[in-house]
Structure 1
Amino acid sequence: MSTSVTALTLDGLDQLPAHTRRCVFWELDPAVAADSHGLCDPVFEKEAWLSTVMLEWGSCGQVAHVEGSRPSDRNIAGCALYSPPSAVPRASLFPTSPVSPDAVLLTTLQAEFPYEEADVAHRLIQAVVADLVRRGVRAIEAFGIRNGPASSSVADRGFGSSMRLMERIAAPLRDPAAATRCTPETCMIDADFLEDVGFEVVAQHHRFPRLRLELNTDHLWKEDVERALDQLLAAASMTPPARVGVF
């Protein structure tokens, strides 16, 4: 089983996970949603938002697929969405707003059941970083969510916090009714997980801290080096050992 991550395109909106495709937690102004009395079509609203951002700004998402033992086995494993904060109505409503003017806002990080343990979230973050570094973006920021007291160290958070994140964002698929609900718990990224992958808190809050990841060419350089090493290792594993002559 291998994981691949590709940029979201206008032709690939149907590749988004079920919950993300319907979720307008970030994209629709809460006041507008309340005035509509539930009459708006969330799928249409999400597609309209994505189309507008991609046409005006460029790709704003990464989609992960997991390929099985057969070529036809290619399943959606998760996605990440990001955009200029000015395109996100809810970005101005948090107690830790506003997002820094030099940053792009990461709004969605979704890992699908049963791929929570397949390192999908980390692969998606790497793809987002690589895309934004190439586009000259200085930083990524995100509003995290905490469901309990902040951990005292990264070691204490570690694998457990990542699993809590995966369990929560996979819940909509386990519970079909939850797929239609957009709440902070189902639509926001775990703050501990963001810290684990390198984000730092720049605006403290017991519930909704704002975190930031500085971007520079080192991120891209490290990714290129890691990719080259993987290719070398793969090539070495396919090269048969030279025969030793007998004299």
Structure 2
Amino acid sequence: MSVRIMPLRLEAFEQLPKHARRCVFWELDPATLDAGDYLPDPEFEKEAWLSMVMLEWGSCGQIASKTPAEGSDADEDEPCLGYVLYAPPRAVPRAQRFPTGPVSADAVLLTSMGVEPGQSDGLTHSLISQVVSELVRRGVRALEAFGRTADTAELLDPDTADPELSPAIEALGDCSFDQCMIGADFLLGAGFTVVAPHRYFPRLRLELDKGLGWKAEVEAALERLLKSAQLQEPVGAGAQLRG
């Protein structure tokens, strides 16, 4: 199956999976809600956030779909196979709450991504590659992300949860850190390096300003990862989509 990856347009918002349309884990600060309050329309909040970022900064996402068959309408909306979102850290309220912050001033923050069940690891790496190409074209120096380690499972148990981390991991509706953050292992495999270590939430960085050699280095790393993935059973990237 041939896949195309395109910048996310606001008109394509409805193509995103249900959880991606409703997830506001990164986009809203839980502190803005009073105790006991809930978001009556998280989908509206997410679309409004995307609209704001696109208007003020430009494209902030990539969406993967099946390439239209020959002879079909190229503008016809195909089902989403995967997506990735990113934005300037100033537009991401949750980023201010992590112990490994702040995000570097020269970096864009990778917030969330996911692929439909049954898609290979190759698609997740293709999404990252597309983000890299887009940001380099726009003169961005680095891409950073807050990763989620395997040890974060401890934070789901009230007996082992760290209360000092509650501002960072506080849930918003059905959005929670264990399903709305990208796995640190995946980020490391995609070429990111840890710049702020942490047992649960390290901050990782991918340099994009290595001069003319950056493209060959990134493509070579992705090629090695794709070959490795083909030798293994398909596994998720730590950010599976929910229908």
Would you call these one fold, judging by a TM-score over 0.5?
yes
Which structure shows the higher helix fraction? 1
Matches within 5 A, 1:82-93: 82-93=86-97
State the distance in 1 between where 2:43 and 2:58 align. Answer: 20
State the distance in 1 between where 2:78 and 2:146 align. Answer: 31
State the distance in 2 between where 1:198 and 1:213 align. Answer: 7
Aligned residue number for residue 28 of structure 2 = 28
Superposition RMSD in Å: 2.5
Does structure 1 residue 18 correspond to structure 2 residue 18?
A: yes
Is the 8 Å Cα contact of residues 3 and 66 (structure 2) preserved in structure 1? yes
Aligned residue number for residue 99 of structure 2 = 95
TM superposition score normalised by structure 2: 0.73
Is the 8 Å Cα contact of residues 16 and 79 (structure 1) preserved in structure 2? yes
Aligned residue number for residue 81 of structure 2 = 77
Does structure 1 residue 110 correspond to structure 2 residue 114?
A: yes
TM superposition score normalised by structure 1: 0.72
Structure exhibiting the larger radius of gyration computed from Cα positions: 1
CA displacement 1:193-244 (0-9 Å, x = unmatched): 100010000000000000000003434467899xxxxxxxxxxxxxxxxxxx
Question: Unaligned stretches of 5+ in structure 1?
Answer: 150-179, 226-247
State the distance in 2 between where 1:121 and 1:17 align. Answer: 16
Aligned residue number for residue 157 of structure 1 = none
Structure number with greater CO (CA < 8 Å, separation at least 6) is 2
Letter in 2 for 1:208: F
Residue 195 of structure 2 aligns to a residue in which SS? strand
CA-CA distance at 1:9 after TM superposition: 1.1
State the distance in 2 between where 1:28 and 1:74 align. Answer: 29
Residue 182 of structure 1 aligns to a residue in which SS? coil
Matches within 5 A, 1:2-81: 2-35=2-35, 37-67=37-67, 74-81=78-85
State the distance in 2 between where 1:224 and 1:145 align. Answer: 25
State the distance in 1 between where 2:200 and 2:124 align. Answer: 22
Does structure 1 residue 123 correspond to structure 2 residue 118?
A: no
CA-CA distance at 1:73 after TM superposition: 9.8
Aligned residue number for residue 218 of structure 1 = 213
Is the 8 Å Cα contact of residues 140 and 213 (structure 1) preserved in structure 2? yes
Question: Unaligned stretches of 5+ in structure 2?
Answer: 153-172, 221-243
Matches within 5 A, 1:89-238: 89-115=93-119, 117=120, 119-148=122-151, 181-216=174-209, 217-220=212-215
Cα distance 1:31–1:220, how it changes in 2: closer, same or farther (>3 A)?
same
CA displacement 1:139-185 (0-9 Å, x = unmatched): 00000000139xxxxxxxxxxxxxxxxxxxxxxxxxxxxxx621111
The count of aligned residue pairs is 194
Is the 8 Å Cα contact of residues 133 and 220 (structure 1) preserved in structure 2? no
Residue 148 of structure 1 aligns to a residue in which SS? helix
CA-CA distance at 1:114 after TM superposition: 2.5
Letter in 2 for 1:27: E
